[in-house]
Amino acid sequence: MIPRYSLPEMAVLFTDEARMGLWLEVELLAVEAWANLGVVPAEAAAACRSRAPKVTAELVAAVDERERVTDHDVAAFVDVVQDAIGQPEGSWVHYGLTSSDVVDTALCATLTRAADLLVEAADGLVAVLKARATEHIGTVMAGRTHGMQAEPTTFGAKLALWCLQVDRDRQRLQRARQQVAVGKLSGAVGTYANIDPAVEAHVCGALGLTPVPATQVVARDRHAELLWACASAGATVETIATEIRHLARTEVGEAEEPFGRGQKGSSAMPHKRNPILSERLCGLARLLRGYLGAGLEDVALWHERDISHSSVERVALPDALLLTYYMLRRCTGLVDGLVVHADRMRANLLEASFGLVFSQPVLLGLVAGGLSRDAAYRIVQRDARVAWEERRPLRQVLQEDPEVTVAPEALDEAFDVSRSVRHVHRFLDALQAVP
């Protein structure tokens, strides 16, 4: 992922140094496990640990140079590590292992740590949404369907629903984390033919992973599940960002992104305050979904393994995790700093619609007064059109219509916005279960 969308705490997990550092730890833990079993001399295992090279940029470069000869990255890594440790002790490195034992176990350890960061980021977004939902539970605004004003709602209700959705994403991330927190050191086709299962148990236990049955590779449905959780979280962020973009439009003007001192919205037009972060997040969600497709394609491999998944994962997994983390963190800042124009929300609801948003309670009042539903519907539909075309309040048009027999006090109730939002506390009640 390009640096623009890479936050350092996640990016550091996917450096070459971090990757090979985990490879080395898997190798050393395996040697120590063999020593526990009496296969490797204890002094040889201690020498491997004490003389193991530091994983630096120089070691990475040495492995890259060696790979030009081996055309195999793990084989090149093992050669360089064995040379650094020296013989005969270095010969115990990679004893009984196949490349996937090292690579897959190290990768799962990395993905587990990355998933922890994602859950933490989701925690932050949930907390901000919960706080702002509470703040704006009584901020009335127009609910919209098909982009058109429908009936009154509150901005807090909207925020609460987003909070509940992010919480579901958090749960998906937690479940996906459990699925990738696994490892395998069971040899070439997963049968433990040349390795004791105790070695696998020791290495996985030290890394906080659970040993699982496998072929030569850990099953890739686990990785695909993590990518699905990432794509789902991205879709939720896109939902929030899309709504903010709509509310920020000049004609709506109900919310706007935070605008920093010295910020410029346009290189040409000084008045512009464009919703650039929301737009960016929507674009990144598209990219994120593409990685899910790639991850699903990686599930089906030939027989006990092939490497068609490998090249895909080198790009898709780091990029997807970096993007998801970036999006969750940036969305948290967006919601936290969002400027809410409550007066404009109320004006758009009560004035710009000429009261059309109260058509349903008027309809119900006419039905309660004895009219058939269709007859009542046609009357309100007709009067609503008159109100819109003549730019007059719907209530005034209704009062002038001799077919409308609803009592004035019933109209008062129908056009009372507090009636429409009298149950919004239920949204806050639902948030009480969200940790």
Closest CA to 420 of 361, 353, 343: 361
- The H or E element containing residue 157 is helix 155-180
- H helices of 39-98, in order, are 42-51, 57-70, 73-85
Residues 126 and 181 sit within 8 Å (Cβ to Cβ): no
Q: Which two tokens stand for residue 3?
A: 């640096």
Q: Is 423 a catalytic residue?
A: no
- Give the C-alpha distances (Å, rounded to integers) separating 38 from 25, 35, 74, 311: 20, 5, 26, 38
41-70: string of b/e by CB count within 10 Å (b at 16+)? eeebbebbeeebeebeeebbebbeebbeee
Q: What does the DSSP assignment read for 348-404?
A: IIIIITTTGGGHHHHHHHHHHTT--HHHHHHHHHHHHHHHHHHT--HHHHHHH-TT-
Q: Which two tokens stand for residue 36?
A: 């526990």
Q: Is 146 a catalytic residue?
A: yes
Q: Which two tokens stand for residue 154?
A: 């509150």
- The H or E element containing residue 150 is strand 148-154
Q: What does the DSSP assignment read for 10-27?
A: HHGGGSHHHHHHHHHHHH
CA–CA gap between residue 6 and residue 148 (Å, rounded): 38
Side-chain half-sphere exposure of 236, counting CA atoms within 13 A: 30
CA–CA gap between residue 31 and residue 47 (Å, rounded): 10
Q: Which two tokens stand for residue 215?
A: 């072929």
- Residue among 6, 99, 232, 266 flagged as catalytic: 266
**Cis omega (within 30 of 0) for bond into 88:** yes
Q: What is the DSSP letter of 275?
A: -
- What is the residue type of 242? T
Structure-token match 């958090």, residue found: 170
- Residue among 94, 100, 136, 146 flagged as catalytic: 146
- Catalytic residues, which ones? 146, 266
